Structure 1
Amino acid sequence: MLNCREELLFLTKQLVNIESIVNTEGEKEISQAVFTLISQYDYFRENPTQVMKQQTTDDEQERYNVIAYVKGTKSKSNKTIILIGHMDTVGTDDFNHLKDQACDPDELMNSLKQEQLPPLVEEHLNSDDYLFGRGVLDMKSGVASNLFLLKYYSEHPEELDGNLVVVVECDEEDGSRGILSALDELKALKDEHSFEYVGAINSDFVAPRFEGDENRYIYKGTVGKLLPSFFITGSETHVGACFEGIDPNFIAAELTRQINYNPELCNEAFGETTTPPVSLKQMDLKPSYTVQTALSAYVYFNFFIHSWSPKEVLEILKRQAEIAMTNALTTFKQRYEKFSKMSKQPYVEVPWQTRVMTYEEMEKCIIAEHGERFVTHMTDFKETLLLDKQLDTRMFSAKVVEEAWKWMPDRSPAIIVFYSSLYSPRIEVTGKNALEENLITSLEKAVNKMQPNYAHPIETRNFFPYISDMSFVALSDDVEGINAVSNNTPCWGKKLYVNYEAIRDINVPVINIGPYGFDAHKQFERVELTYSLEIVPNLTNEVIKNLCK
């Protein structure tokens, strides 16, 4: 086993000391620090072109990845392993009055000892095997592990069959522009040096799946994430004559009731099940107070997938929206009839029908009616929207749908289904080809070798359960599935664009071997040192050696 605990502990603290919150100047600072650190290794002094600081592309922020590679000399082999890990973190506001100490683990832990803490947090704090602080778990200890292995093989290239590429990327916590930009460099290295990418290892954090879970998990592949969104139109009316129109918020509430926490919308694959969708936004688009009901509402949901494609999700959610709108209209009619009897007013038959379509379907309908005039108008409208830097992809998309809706020949109440944010693709690593078989076998051998050195079970599962940059080094979706994203994302090509074919060019099977701990993105974020600083780098190293044989 590599003796690495103390060096990794020191390196982890160094990285944590640099506050590198996503979308801040700290991202630039830490990339420079990592670049400087690697550049000081003897190997890279002799081979300075093999470490680079790469600025992200199509990015409103100035920030950089750091990419370095070592060429092994043990044998003539083009086999190449990629290690990936992100250096940005979420913010520190959750540390409250200890915010100023969030990036200083030693000071923070001393201060926490004066606090009233939950029992498990206190137990970990008083042990010698946990380190607290922003980024210790997610995921600077993982980056430290990758940097340690880079340094080791830079000092011992004679032990390396093939090549090792380490990517330390920015912007994982927001838009994944770091890894998406790194794809260009990975392809350039592949073309220039004939690198044959045989496997990628991400080093993002792992955590217990439930209270009392003692397993430490390794993941083959990853969950996918979509942000299905719904533009809901009603029929405006004065609140004093409420049944003469229908409130889109009423339909939106029924839609949220239908989709939120619905187990029918969990995606099971290989014995593993995603968590159900949860609403992340529900609002109407009324700009200010009036005594009229809103014209439209907007709802979007977090949606995880294992085996469904983005196209299938649209079809599934169209059916859910149809159920929701039918239920809303049925309830509306029942309440209207009851009110009519109570008030002794005549009941007028409700004219509206259930009506649900995708953004792509709506756009085709409008183009058929208005042709190039609509296309030109929407292009200009999107360019104007881009001037508002406060609009994120979600609200940008909502405004595009809202504007397009004005051109609809029939503007009776409807639900429009679309996507309004980045699609993080699902990845299955099942042994369906030789590369995947080799990676799975290499991982199994590594776990079997390392398990006797660690007290807790090391278990392998199929899908990393959190969003990570694993999603952007391989594709399990076909072209039709990806087209469903681009054709149904209103901000596509303007506010958001992902070259999924660049991912397909790399298309390397990926696993996650990362640090273990608790409370990532929370004030008591902490990493277990024995597993994270001893087992993780050695597990990763064993996989590297097995893959390159």
Structure 2
Amino acid sequence: MGKWQTIKQLRALLCELVKIPSVSGSEAENYFPEVLLHKLAELKYFQEHPDLLNQVPTGDGRFLISAFVRAQRPTSRTVILFSHFDVVDVHDYGKWKDIAFDPELLTQRFNEQKKKLPQAVQKDLDTGNWIFGRGTMDMKSGLTLHMSLIEAASEGRFEGNVLLVSVPDEEVNSVGMRAAIPHLLQLKERNQLEFVAAVNSEPMFSLYPGDQTNYLYTGSVGKVMPGFLCYGKETHVGEPYSGLNGNLMASFVTEAIELNTDLCDQDEGRLAPPPTNLIQKGLKDTYSVQIPHRAVTLFNLFMLERSIEEVTTILRKQAEQAAAKIESFYHKEAERYSEAIGSTIVDPKVRVLSYEELLKEACKSYGGEKVDKLIESLIAQRGDKDDRGLSIEIVDQLAILCKALAPMIILFYTPPFYPAVHSHHQPMIRQVVDKIQSLASKAYHTELIEQHYFSGISDLSYIGMPAKHGSMNEWTANMPIWDRGYSIPFAEMEQLAMPVLNLGPIGRDPHQWTERLDVDFSFVSLKELLSYCISEILAGDNHK
């Protein structure tokens, strides 16, 4: 019967994995790979082939897990199963925070207090098919299924090789996946493998509130994080028209970009989700009656078909429009105030610069060596600043050096970056998708609608075929910490590029306290669909 093949076994395994609170950056995230390693080592195959089960360092104290199963009949054809084992934190669970990692207990408590929960949650509870808890949906259910598949592979289920790769840090900077790239190249070269496709099992994401459609994905959305540092002019609060408030400037930039459908990338007429703000704050360290003349605002921006050059051009235009609105607003209010006091106020002119342009100005004024030393000292003294905080600090300090250029808005990029990838035009993937959709409909009465891009962001971005080839110079030149603590192995990614497919569980409310998983679909229907998917990908006639 096996260890992880029945719905009961899979549910128990899922609960065991969820109980390890592997929040990104936590000690439990560091501990999780050891648990996963020991569980996989219980399989007879890895007892006989321990060299094919590896705990691979990511370079920052964390580890990823790689488990390779050779087919009984020698072949180079290999499918890779990708998952991540980190999760987001549980602060949003409120009074249920202490049991957020105990799916059975949390589900029981929700049943006991069902009438206090949202209607959609009550409806799912009534079916008896859903289990709740952080990581049940995103994405330890996917990892659970992959462990089931690797066990099946170890018993000769597939006519080809299967490689399981599970990584940390997907929810933050994808350190795990970026570290997996050289490991995969080594495996490929050492074993003379042909990586036929990468299969991920991230859960289905709703396209809009209340969306009940079930999806499979033939690609993964791209993402950039543009930032705008707004540098105004300092002044006392008693003389506000002698300066320009950075917070005011940032608010105009945010108004220009937040949920702006005109900025949505498109794929054959289908829109990516709109941009939304992730960080906005003034950069004053302490309270005083000096206005906050420096502020920053950062956004999540999805990419499908656009190049980074196109994205930069669009963002710069938005910043220029925001600058014009700042000037117009200032002029309007200054004119009214001037009439009241009987004096003339000089209007500011706000310029827009890229980080690359700011850096050149700083080097021109102070010399490249001094600027490099400043940046290196900021990196050395970063303390507990994350990559976004460090990027902001570098831009801010260079802006202070170049304050004669103010007022100004500086466009820059921060980590992470995810390339958009797709496989919907790839013949083998087209055939496999058609067959999966047919089987799901006939055998499980489930309609799976294809989406070209998984909208939840995934590590497939680092392994798939780029949606649009192009130079990354525009991005790296405007990324303050590029090759200074953050990098992406673009050359190695090109060597590994392969078709991708995301076939995952039905769940609801990722990253919310009502995160939940449809157990029956995930551990019965989806388990068989994934098994069928791997068999079809490995079948040689798909390449004819």
Task: Please state which band the TM-score falls in when normalised by the shorter chain.
Answer: over 0.9
How many pairs does the alignment contain? 534
TM-superposed deviation, 1:480 = 4.8
TM-superposed deviation, 1:97 = 2.4
Deviation string, structure 1 residues 5-25 (Cα, Å, up to 9, x no partner): 333222212212322222222
Counterpart amino acid of residue 438 in structure 1: M
Whether 1:427 and 2:401 are equivalent positions in the alignment is: no
Summarize the alignment of residues 43-62 of structure 1 with structure 2, pairs less than 5 Å apart: 43-57=45-59, 59=60, 62=61
Counterpart residue number, 1:539: 529
Deviation string, structure 1 residues 318-353 (Cα, Å, up to 9, x no partner): 1000001111101211221221112112x2443x33
Counterpart residue number, 1:191: 189
TM-superposed deviation, 1:477 = 6.5
Whether 1:491 and 2:485 are equivalent positions in the alignment is: no
Summarize the alignment of residues 4-403 of structure 1 with structure 2, pairs less than 5 Å apart: 4-57=6-59, 59=60, 62-74=61-73, 76-115=74-113, 116-156=116-156, 159-345=157-343, 347-350=344-347, 352-386=348-382, 388=383, 390-403=384-397
Moved more, 94-103 or 303-312: 94-103
Counterpart amino acid of residue 358 in structure 1: S
TM-superposed deviation, 1:189 = 0.5
SS in 2 for 1:200: strand
**Is the contact made by 2:205 and 2:455 (CA closer than 8 Å) also made in structure 1?**
no
SS in 1 for 2:405: coil
SS in 1 for 2:421: coil
**Is the contact made by 2:437 and 2:447 (CA closer than 8 Å) also made in structure 1?**
no
Relative distance call for 1:381 and 1:475 in structure 2 (3 A) is farther
Moved more, 116-125 or 41-50: 116-125
Taking the aligned partners of 1:254 and 1:94, their CA distance within structure 2 comes to 30
Taking the aligned partners of 1:169 and 1:425, their CA distance within structure 2 comes to 18
TM-superposed deviation, 1:126 = 3.2
Deviation string, structure 1 residues 516-537 (Cα, Å, up to 9, x no partner): 1112222222111222112222
Counterpart residue number, 1:467: 457
TM-superposed deviation, 1:476 = 1.5
Relative distance call for 1:103 and 1:244 in structure 2 (3 A) is closer
Counterpart amino acid of residue 498 in structure 1: I
TM-superposed deviation, 1:265 = 0.8
Counterpart amino acid of residue 6 in structure 1: K
Deviation string, structure 1 residues 182-214 (Cα, Å, up to 9, x no partner): 112111110101111111011111144345533
**Is the contact made by 2:81 and 2:163 (CA closer than 8 Å) also made in structure 1?**
yes
**Is the contact made by 1:248 and 1:296 (CA closer than 8 Å) also made in structure 2?**
yes
Counterpart residue number, 1:439: 429
Taking the aligned partners of 2:481 and 2:465, their CA distance within structure 1 comes to 22
Relative distance call for 1:542 and 1:155 in structure 2 (3 A) is same
Whether 1:522 and 2:521 are equivalent positions in the alignment is: no
**Is the contact made by 2:351 and 2:407 (CA closer than 8 Å) also made in structure 1?**
yes
**Is the contact made by 2:231 and 2:407 (CA closer than 8 Å) also made in structure 1?**
yes
Counterpart amino acid of residue 395 in structure 2: V
Taking the aligned partners of 1:290 and 1:379, their CA distance within structure 2 comes to 27
**Is the contact made by 1:314 and 1:418 (CA closer than 8 Å) also made in structure 2?**
no
TM-superposed deviation, 1:259 = 1.2
TM-score, length of structure 2 as denominator length: 0.93
**Is the contact made by 2:218 and 2:502 (CA closer than 8 Å) also made in structure 1?**
yes
SS in 2 for 1:420: strand
SS in 2 for 1:126: helix
TM-superposed deviation, 1:367 = 2.5
Taking the aligned partners of 1:78 and 1:43, their CA distance within structure 2 comes to 19
Counterpart amino acid of residue 20 in structure 2: I
TM-superposed deviation, 1:41 = 0.9
Taking the aligned partners of 1:193 and 1:391, their CA distance within structure 2 comes to 41
**Is the contact made by 2:220 and 2:460 (CA closer than 8 Å) also made in structure 1?**
yes
Taking the aligned partners of 2:260 and 2:368, their CA distance within structure 1 comes to 41
Counterpart residue number, 2:542: none
TM-superposed deviation, 1:113 = 2.0
**Is the contact made by 1:314 and 1:358 (CA closer than 8 Å) also made in structure 2?**
no
Counterpart amino acid of residue 147 in structure 2: L
Taking the aligned partners of 2:467 and 2:445, their CA distance within structure 1 comes to 38
TM-superposed deviation, 1:365 = 2.9
Relative distance call for 1:108 and 1:245 in structure 2 (3 A) is closer
Taking the aligned partners of 2:28 and 2:514, their CA distance within structure 1 comes to 21
Taking the aligned partners of 2:432 and 2:392, their CA distance within structure 1 comes to 46
Report the identity percentage.
29
Whether 1:500 and 2:525 are equivalent positions in the alignment is: no
Counterpart residue number, 1:511: 501
Taking the aligned partners of 1:474 and 1:483, their CA distance within structure 2 comes to 20
TM-superposed deviation, 1:479 = 7.1
Deviation string, structure 1 residues 135-179 (Cα, Å, up to 9, x no partner): 1111111111111110001011xx433311111111212221111
Relative distance call for 1:340 and 1:516 in structure 2 (3 A) is same
SS in 1 for 2:197: strand
Moved more, 492-501 or 261-270: 492-501
Taking the aligned partners of 2:492 and 2:419, their CA distance within structure 1 comes to 13
Counterpart residue number, 1:414: 408
Taking the aligned partners of 1:268 and 1:149, their CA distance within structure 2 comes to 35
**Is the contact made by 1:475 and 1:503 (CA closer than 8 Å) also made in structure 2?**
no
TM-superposed deviation, 1:51 = 0.7
SS in 2 for 1:486: helix
SS in 2 for 1:394: helix
TM-superposed deviation, 1:428 = 2.2
Consecutive unaligned residues of structure 1, counting only runs of 5 or more, are none
Relative distance call for 1:211 and 1:338 in structure 2 (3 A) is closer
SS in 1 for 2:482: coil
TM-superposed deviation, 1:409 = 7.9
Consecutive unaligned residues of structure 2, counting only runs of 5 or more, are 540-544
Moved more, 189-198 or 211-220: 211-220
**Is the contact made by 1:44 and 1:50 (CA closer than 8 Å) also made in structure 2?**
yes
Taking the aligned partners of 2:449 and 2:469, their CA distance within structure 1 comes to 33
Relative distance call for 1:521 and 1:380 in structure 2 (3 A) is closer
**Is the contact made by 1:12 and 1:144 (CA closer than 8 Å) also made in structure 2?**
yes
TM-score, length of structure 1 as denominator length: 0.92
SS in 2 for 1:240: coil
TM-superposed deviation, 1:230 = 0.6
SS in 1 for 2:244: coil
Taking the aligned partners of 1:349 and 1:112, their CA distance within structure 2 comes to 61
Taking the aligned partners of 2:359 and 2:468, their CA distance within structure 1 comes to 23
Taking the aligned partners of 2:288 and 2:535, their CA distance within structure 1 comes to 68
TM-superposed deviation, 1:515 = 1.0
SS in 2 for 1:44: helix
Counterpart amino acid of residue 546 in structure 1: E
Moved more, 215-224 or 466-475: 466-475
Whether 1:456 and 2:446 are equivalent positions in the alignment is: yes
Taking the aligned partners of 2:389 and 2:493, their CA distance within structure 1 comes to 27
TM-superposed deviation, 1:368 = 3.5
